[in-house]
Structure formats: C-alpha cells, structure tokens
C-alpha cells in the first residue's frame, strides 16, 4: 500500500504535468497567432457599398445598416456597419485579411423576389426572416439531400400559403437582381411559414443560395465601391503594452494571494495559471475575436476567478478558527463556499447569455469572453484549487500555520451608517444629472458621445511615405487632436498603400480646411489626396435599443433567479436597485468628467453590473446562512455580522481587480487608459455599494414589510 505522502507526490506530479501541457498549448496559441484580434487590435477588411438610389431615405439606410450588421456578425461579433455620406455604407470586419473572399461570400446585396409563372411577384426578400443551408431526407428515395430552409414573417407566410395553394404542380421562381437562382416545383400547399428548396447539387451551393436570399432581404440595392485591408487602430504598441500589463498584474495578484493566504495562495496561483492558459486555448479553439470590450470581459472574469479562491480560503480559515483540522476545514470550506460561488457566477452567466443572444457587435463580443471566463473560473476554483490543496495535505503540508485561521470577529455597525451612504449615493447621482443638464443647456450634449455613438468625419489621407502605427500615434494623432480638441481619434492604415483613414468627431467646414492645412504643413501631403466624408456611429439606434432591451431582460432573469435561490423577493429587489445605483453613479462620472461615451462605455457598464452583482450575492449568501444559524438574533445584528465576515473578502477581491486595471492604466497607451479609468471607478463603486447600499436596502425593505404585516 502506498503511503499518503506517495499518493500526494503522484497527485502533484500529475497536476504539474497537466498544467505544463496547458502552458505549452497556450504558448503555442499566442506565438502561432491563433487568436483572432479585432479591428482595433489587428485590423481587418473594410468594404464600402453605395446605394443605387441617389437619395435613399434615412429610414431605408438605417434598416439596411441594421440588417447588414446582423448578417456580418457571422464573420465576427465585433464587425461594424456604419453610414458614410448620404448613400454609402461601410462594413469593417476584424480578424480577416482576404477582402475578395469576404466579398464573394457576402455577395452583392440586391433585390430578391418570389415570382409565379405569370410573372406576378408573390413576396420579396424583406418578408424572409431567415434562410439557412441544411439537409433533409428525400421522401421517394430516402436519400439525404442538400436544401435551403426558409422562414417567412407573418405577412410573407400568409402570401406564400395562398400562392402555394394556388400553384400546386407549378413553379415559383426565386429571382435575384434579374437572375433566376432557383425554380422549384410546388409539391403541396405550404401553410406553416416555412419551406425548403431542394435540387441543390452540393451543400456549398445550398449555402450560397441561402446567403443570396439573406442578402436580398435588404431595403436598398447596393453596389460595391471599394474594399481594403486595413491595419489595426491601436497598433502593436497597444497590444504589447496590454500583454506586459497583463503579465505584471498577474504576477502582482499571485504575490498578493500568497502573501495573504500563504500555502492556499500558492494553490490559487497554480489554479489561476491554469485559468489563464485554458482561457487562451479556448479563445483560439472557438475562433473568438479579441477586442478592447473583450478584454473587459476577461478582466472581470479574472477578478471573479480570484474572488472564488478568496471565498474558499476565507471559509477554510474560519473552520480552522473553530478548532477543526486542516483537512476537515478544507472539505467544509469548499462545501460552504459552493453556494456563494455558484449563485454569483450563475447570475453573471445569465447576463452574459442574454447579452450574447440579444446583443450585437461589441456587446456580443463582451458577452462571449465574459461567459467563457466565468465558466473557466468556476472550473479552476472548484476543481483545480481543491486538487492542489488536497495534494499539499497528502504531502504532509497540513499544519495550521501554513493556512492561517480566523477567530470570531466583532461585528461592525454598517447599518448604522446607511444614512451617510445613502446621502453619498444620492449626492453623486444628483451631481450626474445636474452635470448632464448643464452640458445639455450649454453644448446641446448631455454626455460626451464619441464616434461609436454619434458618428463623425472620416478623412482619407495619402502620405508621401509609409508611416508605422507608432508614427501615427506619436506624430499624426497629436496634429489631428490640435484641430478637434479631443483624443477620440481612430486611425488605420490601408494595407499596401500610404493611405491612412482618420476618424474624428464631426468636423465643420472650417475645421476640415484647418485639418487639411495642418496635414499639408506638417507632412507635406498633396492636398488633392485628402478626402473627407461624414460617417454615422457604429452603434446604431437599433443596436442601442437592442442593448437596452438585452440589459433589461438580463436584470429581470437575474431578479427571478435570486428570488428563486433566496426565497425572498426583497433580496432580489435590493440587488437590482443596487445595480441601478452603480450604473447611475458611473454615468455621473462620465457626465462630470466628460469621458468619451463609445463602445468602451457599454463594456464598462456591463463589467460593473457583472462585478457588482457577484459581490452582492456573496454577502447575501452569508446573510442567508446566518439567518439559519442565529435564529434568536435581530436582523440588524445578522446583517452587520454577515457584512463584517465578508468584508475582508470584498476588499481583497476589489483590491486584486483594481490592481489589474490600475497596472493596465499605468502601462497602457492613451486609448487603453481612456478605457480603464472608468473601470477603476466602477470597481470602487461596485464594492462600496454591495457592502453598504445593497445590504442597507434589504434591511430597509424587510423592516417596512414587517411594519405592514403588523398593521394587518
């Protein structure tokens, strides 16, 4: 029989071998450039279409942009579609480099009609909800065949049902831009709003026809004007500085965990290493495009990965403080920490899932990395950390001095300070609304909306030499900023040329002239090689609407889940109200400090919501537990004790998350700093609100509920 130490040594060697394997795979993914980077980090393809109509309506342009956005998200969740001038549409697709392949796959957007044998139009592409390639079984031969599966909207379903009932045995032609793509025979009336087109020679042909039908559902007929491969907007310096900041922050977090938790901190460091490697491997395996909002999702999930370990280790120390052996404390600590970890992560996963399903563009990219990170963090915390700790115990490293212990703590009267905390919250929110009102009156803009929201001016400049991205950042952008007066500038190179596309806020005619002259003076460019067009925001009104609806649905589902898990609607209500507080406070900072409101604004808000709800759930879980244990105590005492017991966890988790963001702020380029500064404010806000606002709101709701009950 093998001794415990031998078993522990074997476990340790196996765990080290597994970790080494994932380190190798992660390194191969990074060095082999298997992770797709977004347009802001690595560039991609930019395509410009022009409507065949000279003056299309604003509504038709908006509808076409929205439908194109839905379509190109299949190439990348971070794809952007926006208006240029009055009849052009730009499509930027990150992570790809072959414009011709994209154009071939995307096709030429045009008009689509379904026509009967007499040439009468039955319905058009606008009435097709979806078209997908698929396979079905031939009723006669039983063989598998490639088909196109169509789903119509209500009006289309009704028109198609009437036509197929009338035209059994005859053909319905599918005509795209005057060319017949298919001419299937109507075999029977089709009344369910769905149909299939068979007769495809291959699955590829079915995919091509399905794509053609989807594209034909646009309001406008478009023709390609130009297509370019563009370079990164942020440059290699942004990527390298972000990677350096990530490495430094990871090292700082590891050292902090070891300093605070000793041997369990070593287990956390090993588990976090596995977490990072697994995340990198999965990003490569699932072909996920990484952009700045995606980095926000990973930052949040890193914080949650640390948080899960902090919850576990705090529980272990509490059990040791009660006199249990280390091995018993480890087992009990994991069991008691499980509900808080699962509930906190599931509420965040609910938000990520809803945002992915209902969101578009950067919202979906954020949701993808957040959801992936949360799942991986749960796996590493609950399985990897446990395995390391048991291996250490088997090796004989189970002395209490290596783990630490927490004795009974005197409760701090947090509830007694709720008036101060409520007053601070109200003052901050009020200051935000006052600032928005002031700036709305003086500048007509309540918030400093950036390019992504309100659009701006796109200036194409052909320089006399091929400038590097670093030269663009250090030489060109300051010249542009001198004219625009802000740093919200996006610049990308057109591959194979000296042309640079500079996007800024909307410039007046005088400002455009000044910018042109400044470019001539500083870089001796030919003024004839400078062109400018107005562009719309990449986050359209429809996308903003979808994002708002997605957030509302996510909050509603979180409300239901918390209500179900805690069997108390007031827990759920106070948690959601706390989230509203957090969003309004961060919005106040955006208003007062005039931070640019762009795609990073959306990512920051979503990061704050995910971070804050997780922290709140952990505290509520302790209140729920103490309610069962301390039945004779007052509610106020239970709340104060619960917050006191989780206070060190909240501070430590916030500190590690804040530390990671701070290092990214200090070592990152200007565009990264603009993104991380609101995240730091959000981290502080989410922490104090979970500790002081959420618990105080719950106590207040419970108190009022009891008063109403006594009155009855």
Q: What pLDDT, on a 0 to 100 scale, did the predictor assign at position 108? A: 55
User: Which runs of E-coded beta strand occur in 30-111?
Assistant: 36-37, 44-51, 80-84, 88-94
State the pLDDT at residue 78: 67
Q: Compute how many other C-beta atoms are within 10 angstroms of the C-beta atom of residue 702.
A: 17
Alpha-carbon distances of 365 from 93, 284, 359, 362, 369, rounded to whole Å: 13, 14, 9, 5, 7
Pairing relation of β-strands 490-493 and 530-535? unpaired
Strand-pairing partners, residue 499, are 462
Hey, what are 165's tokens?
Answer: 């009932």
Residue located via tokens 């956005």: 69
Residue 528's Cβ-side half-sphere holds a number of Cα atoms within 13 Å equal to 0
pLDDT score for 417: 87
Phi and psi at 178, nearest 5°, equal 85, -5
Mean pLDDT, range 497-518, rounded to an integer = 87
Please answer whether residues 116 and 310 qualify as being in contact, where contact means their C-beta atoms are separated by less than 8 angstroms: no
What is the token pair recorded at 6?
């031998």
**Spatial separation of the C-alpha atoms in residues 88 and 411, rounded to whole Å:** 64
Place of tokens 């087992």: 331
Q: In what order do the strands lie in the sheet with 194-197?
A: 128-137, 144-152, 194-197
- Least confidently predicted of 38-42, 79-83, 251-255, 572-576: 38-42
305, 381 Cβ separation under 8 angstroms? yes
Dihedral sign, Cα of residue 375, residue 376, residue 377, residue 383? positive
Rounded to whole angstroms, the Cα distance separating 352 from 346 reads 10
> Between 208 and 585, where is the model more confident?
585
Q: Is the pLDDT of residue 234 over 60?
A: no
Would you state the pLDDT for residue 438?
93
Q: Residue with structure tokens 């309610």?
A: 627
Average pLDDT, the chain: 81
Token pair for residue 374? 């949360």
Round to whole Å and give the CA distance between 563 and 624: 12
pLDDT reported for residue 39? 61
Residue range 535-549: mean pLDDT, rounded: 69
Q: Greater confidence, 414 or 216? A: 414
Task: Report how far Cα 279 is from the mean position of its chain's Cα atoms.
Answer: 15
Taking each helix axis as running N to C, give the angle between helix 263-285 and helix 292-321, from 0 to 180 degrees, rounded to the nearest 10. Answer: 150
Nearest to 238 by CA among 46, 29, 469, 32: 469
Distances (CA, A) of 198 to 182, 211, 539: 9, 15, 38
Angle, CA of 65, 113 and 157, to the nearest 5°: 90
The pLDDT score that the predictor gives to residue 280 is 84
**Strand partners of residue 175:** 113, 180
The pLDDT value given to residue 21: 92
Residues 105-159 pLDDT 10s: 565 555 678 899 888 888 877 788 778 888 887 766 777 888 888 888 888 889 8
With 0-12 / 13-18 / 19 or more C-beta atoms within 10 angstroms meaning exposed / middle / buried, residue 151 is middle
Query: What does the pLDDT read at residue 344?
Result: 82
As a whole number of angstroms, the distance between CA 12 and CA 397 comes to 12
What's the 3-state SS for 403-446? CCCCCCCCCCCCHHHHHHHHHHHHHHHHHHHHHHHHHHHHHCCC
pLDDT in tens, 688-700: 898 989 999 999 9
The tokens describing 36, both together, are: 């797709």
The fraction of the chain above a pLDDT of 90, given in percent, is: 11
pLDDT in tens, 16-40: 899 999 889 888 887 766 666 666 6
Count H helices and E strands in the chain, helices first: 22, 17
Alpha helices in 594-634 (DSSP H): 599-629
274: CB partners within 8 A, 6+ apart: 18, 19, 22, 380, 384
Q: Which residue has the higher pLDDT, 674 or 150?
A: 150
Task: Report the C-alpha gap between 358 and 547 in whole angstroms.
Answer: 7
């Amino acid at each position: 029989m093998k001794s415990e130490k031998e078993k522990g040594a074997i476990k340790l060697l196996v765990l080290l071998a597994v970790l080494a394997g994932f380190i190798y795979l992660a390194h191969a993914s990074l060095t082999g450039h298997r992770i797709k980077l977004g347009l802001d980090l690595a560039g991609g393809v930019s395509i410009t279409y022009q409507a065949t109509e000279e003056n299309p309506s604003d509504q038709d342009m908006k509808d076409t942009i929205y439908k194109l956005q839905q379509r190109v998200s299949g190439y990348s969740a971070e794809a952007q579609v926006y208006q240029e001038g009055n009849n052009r549409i730009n499509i930027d697709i990150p992570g790809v480099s072959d414009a011709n392949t994209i154009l071939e796959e995307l096709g030429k957007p045009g008009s689509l009609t379904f026509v009967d044998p007499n040439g009468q139009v039955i319905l058009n592409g606008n009435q097709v909800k979806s078209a997908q390639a698929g396979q079905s079984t031939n009723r006669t031969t039983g063989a598998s065949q490639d088909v196109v599966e169509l789903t119509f909207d209500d009006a289309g379903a009704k028109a198609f049902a009437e036509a197929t009932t009338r035209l059994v045995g005859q053909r319905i032609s599918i005509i795209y831009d005057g060319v017949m793509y298919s001419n299937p025979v109507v075999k029977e009336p089709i009344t369910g709003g769905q149909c299939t087109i068979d007769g495809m020679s291959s699955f590829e042909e079915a995919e091509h026809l399905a794509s053609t039908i989807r594209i034909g559902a646009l309001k406008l007929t478009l023709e390609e004007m130009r297509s370019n491969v563009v370079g990164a907007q942020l440059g290699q310096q942004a990527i390298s500085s972000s990677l350096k900041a990530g490495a430094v922050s990871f090292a700082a977090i590891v050292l902090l965990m070891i300093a605070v938790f000793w041997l369990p901190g070593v287990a956390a460091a090993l588990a976090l290493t596995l977490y990072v490697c697994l995340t990198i491997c999965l990003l490569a395996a699932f072909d996920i495009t990484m952009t700045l909002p995606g980095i926000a999702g990973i930052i949040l999930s890193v914080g949650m990965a640390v948080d899960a370990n902090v919850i576990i280790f705090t529980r272990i120390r509490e059990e040791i403080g009660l006199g249990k052996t280390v091995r018993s404390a480890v087992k009990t600590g994991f069991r008691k920490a499980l509900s808080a970890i699962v509930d906190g992560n599931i509420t965040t996963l609910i938000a990520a899932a809803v945002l992915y399903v209902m969101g578009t563009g950067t919202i979906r990219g954020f949701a993808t990395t957040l959801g992936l990170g949360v799942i991986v963090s749960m796996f590493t915390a609950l399985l990897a950390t446990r395995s390391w700790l048991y291996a250490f115990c088997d090796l004989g490293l189970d002395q209490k001095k290596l783990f630490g212990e927490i004795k009974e703590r005197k409760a701090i009267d947090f509830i007694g300070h709720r008036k101060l905390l409520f007053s601070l919250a109200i003052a901050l929110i009020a200051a935000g609304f006052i600032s928005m009102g002031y700036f709305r009156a003086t500048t007509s803009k309540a918030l400093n909306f950036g390019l992504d929201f309100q659009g701006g001016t796109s200036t194409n400049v052909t320089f006399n030499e091929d400038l590097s991205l670093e030269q663009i950042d250090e030489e060109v952008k300051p010249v542009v900023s001198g004219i625009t007066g802000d740093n919200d500038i996006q610049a990308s190179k057109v591959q194979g040329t000296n042309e640079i596309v500079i996007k800024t806020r909307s410039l007046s005619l005088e400002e455009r002239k000044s910018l042109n002259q400044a470019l001539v003076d500083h870089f001796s460019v030919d003024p004839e090689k400078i062109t400018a067009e107005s562009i719309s925001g990449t986050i359209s009104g429809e996308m903003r609407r979808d994002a708002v609806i997605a957030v509302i649905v996510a909050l509603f589902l979180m409300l239901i889940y918390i209500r179900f898990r805690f069997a108390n609607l007031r827990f759920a209500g106070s948690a959601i109200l706390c989230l509203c507080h957090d969003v309004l406070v961060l919005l106040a900072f955006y208003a007062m400090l005039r931070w640019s409101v762009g795609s990073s604004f959306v990512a920051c808000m979503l990061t704050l919501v995910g971070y804050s709800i997780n922290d709140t759930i952990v505290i509520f879980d302790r209140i729920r537990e103490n309610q069962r244990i301390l039945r004779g105590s007052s509610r106020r005492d239970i709340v104060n004790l619960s917050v006191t017991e989780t206070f060190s966890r909240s501070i430590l988790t916030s500190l590690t998350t804040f530390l990671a963001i701070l290092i990214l702020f200090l070592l990152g380029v200007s565009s990264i700093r603009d993104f991380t500064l609101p995240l730091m404010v959000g981290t502080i806000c989410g922490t104090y609100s979970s500790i002081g606002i959420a618990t105080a709101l719950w106590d207040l709701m419970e108190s009022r509920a009891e008063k109403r009950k006594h009155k009855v």
